[in-house]
Amino acid sequence: MAMANNKTQCFTCNKEKITFPCEGCSKRFCLLHLTEHQQILNEELHHIINDYDQFKQRIDEQKQNPQNHSLLKQINQWERDSIEKIQQKAQNRRENLIQFSQAFIDDIEKRFKDLSELVKQIHGEDEFNEINLNYLKNQLIEIKEELNNSSNISIQQDSQSFINEISIIISKKPKFKKWKQNAITVAGGNGRGQELNQLNNPIGIFIDTKKNIFIADFENDRIFKWKCNAKEGQIIAGGNGKGNRMNQLNSPADMIVDQQNYSIIIADCANRRVIQWWNQNQHILIHNIDCHSLAMDKNGFLYVSDRVKNEVRRWKMEENSRGIVVAGGNEKGNQLNQLDCPTFIFIDEDQSVYVSDRENHRVMKWSKGAKEGRVVAGGNGQGKDLNQLFYPQGVIVDHFRQIYVADWGNDRVMRWSEGKDEGEIIVGGNGEGNQSNQLEHPCGLSFDDEGNLYVADTWNHRIEKFEIIL
């Protein structure tokens, strides 16, 4: 009986031998040349590691010297040529530029660190092939190109005014971030109720640096603090039954958390007041206001949306005044100087006010001192198309002026780039339901310091966390 011939041709020496396949290149090598092939791959990996080390040094240099941005010289020259009145504006623009640049570098650095960890893992396990190496090389090339093309910020001056206005213009935004479509329930999710592991129509939320979640538990008349990875929450305001006593709340919809002073400012909706809780002491800041949402700017001014007067007012915390109207205030309507049931608000670095104009199915932006706003999301009637919203609620604007909206009636969260005619769905939008990829009337939105997205999934009585994807 003849012996079976299990020999094949070696790719390197072209001789008939017992050969072994390489899964990366799909070629077969004899034992001698397979070892040689692996040595070549090892050398290539070391070259890639050296490239990663050099690129990390560039990131560190730029991260340590954000003040070296060339456009700062233009701002400084503009400041010297202008009068003393606009010096504060120049300082604001410096902060904007550094903030934009730092956010860009932080994003590049995070992606680079993740790739570096992958290189270490591959090197440590000593199991890799051409597919792995090509992936690593392509990823490094991609983020190198992004860093090389980071000069996407320019200066724009408005020559129409007596003193030239100056602005930071982002001409090319960084890569759009994405999130996993299946969420993790991080608070509630145990049915509707008032136990410490339950929520009842949560509305506004806030995430602190330790990833603790603060929740306006609307129907339970309390403010909840749910520690990261905890099985239940703790009551930090209200929770003494529905009522208007100082230690009670009645349908709170939103809050501002001052982590340094352990103070919470609450929109106590049904009691028509804004109340501050501090170490279990209470103080009413604003009486007789149909408040829904709150925000605070970098100067400590408080902003409150009024659903009945269809306006947003700015208040000085230390003064007992009527506040100043900064958006709406021209009766209910759908004109650019009007609002119809404003809900959530967001204040940017320039003190521009973004308002979820609920009944008009749009988000409006009112620049500081403006007599009317402009539509930055929706505004094409009630609907589910990408240029429409349906009762918008929570709104957040990032450093690149991308607007995130909780599209309540469409059970989705959308992102709109300012000036674009359409938005995009980033999570939800899979029909009303309680599955991990579904929402049911989302309201509050918040990001943690890693960019994970938290959504108050109101009618599912839970807080959902959508993890960011690089």
Question: Above 70 in pLDDT, residue 4?
Answer: no
Pick 23 or 255 by higher pLDDT.
Answer: 255
DSSP state of 208: -
Distances in whole angstroms, Cα of residue 160 to Cα of each of 78, 165, 263: 16, 8, 44
- Bridge partners (DSSP) of residue 468 are 179
Question: Above 50 in pLDDT, residue 166?
Answer: yes
Question: Above 60 in pLDDT, residue 151?
Answer: no
Q: What is the pLDDT of residue 1?
A: 45
> What's the pTM value of the predicted model, to 2 decimals?
0.70
Mean pLDDT calculated for residue range 435-446: 97
In this prediction, residue 428 has a pLDDT band, given cuts at 50, 70 and 90, of very high
- Bridge partners (DSSP) of residue 284 are 275
In this structure, the chain runs to a length of 470
CB atoms within 10 A of CB 383: 14
Q: CB-based burial of residue 148 (10 Å sphere; 0-12 exposed, 13-18 middle, 19+ buried)? A: exposed
The Cα angle at residue 433 between residues 428 and 439, in degrees rounded to 5: 35
Question: Above 80 in pLDDT, residue 141?
Answer: yes
Question: Above 60 in pLDDT, residue 159?
Answer: no
> Cα separation of 55 and 5, whole Å?
51
Q: CB-based burial of residue 468 (10 Å sphere; 0-12 exposed, 13-18 middle, 19+ buried)? A: middle
Using one digit for the tens of pLDDT, what is the confidence trace for 198-237?
Answer: 999 999 999 998 899 999 999 999 999 999 999 999 999 9
Using the structure block, give the residue that is written with the tokens 């939800």: 428
Using one digit for the tens of pLDDT, what is the confidence trace for 193-204?
Answer: 999 999 999 999
Q: What is the pLDDT of residue 290?
A: 96
Question: Above 70 in pLDDT, residue 122?
Answer: yes
Q: What is the pLDDT of residue 186?
A: 97
Question: Above 50 in pLDDT, residue 117?
Answer: yes
CB atoms within 10 A of CB 388: 21
Question: Above 60 in pLDDT, residue 121?
Answer: yes
Using one digit for the tens of pLDDT, what is the confidence trace for 296-350?
Answer: 988 889 999 999 999 999 998 765 677 899 999 999 999 999 999 999 999 998 8
Winning range, highest mean pLDDT, from 21-35, 106-120, 170-184, 435-449: 435-449
Question: Above 60 in pLDDT, residue 47?
Answer: yes
Question: Above 80 in pLDDT, residue 367?
Answer: yes
Mean pLDDT of the chain: 88
Q: Are 379 and 361 in contact (CB under 8 A)?
A: yes
Q: What is the pLDDT of residue 410?
A: 97
- Where are the chain's structural domains? 8-53, 83-170, 178-469
- Please give the biggest Cα pair distance in the chain: 106
Exposure on the CB side of residue 277, measured as CA atoms within 13 A: 23
- Fold type of domain 178-469: Neuraminidase (2.120.10)
Q: CB-based burial of residue 295 (10 Å sphere; 0-12 exposed, 13-18 middle, 19+ buried)? A: buried
Q: What is the Cα Rg of the chain in Å?
A: 28
Winning range, highest mean pLDDT, from 20-34, 98-112, 404-418: 404-418
Q: What is the pLDDT of residue 101?
A: 80
Pick 70 or 289 by higher pLDDT.
Answer: 289
For residue 204 the two structure tokens come to 């506004």
B/e letters for 396-421, b = 16+ CB within 10 Å, e = fewer, are bbebebbbbbbbbbbbbbbbbbeeee
Pick 470 or 372 by higher pLDDT.
Answer: 372
Mean pLDDT calculated for residue range 92-115: 80
Q: Are 432 and 442 in contact (CB under 8 A)?
A: no
Non-local CB neighbours of 163 within 8 Å, separated by 6+ positions: 82, 83, 85, 86
Question: Above 60 in pLDDT, residue 161?
Answer: no
Distances in whole angstroms, Cα of residue 88 to Cα of each of 8, 83, 95, 164: 77, 11, 11, 14
CB atoms within 10 A of CB 98: 15
In this prediction, residue 169 has a pLDDT band, given cuts at 50, 70 and 90, of low
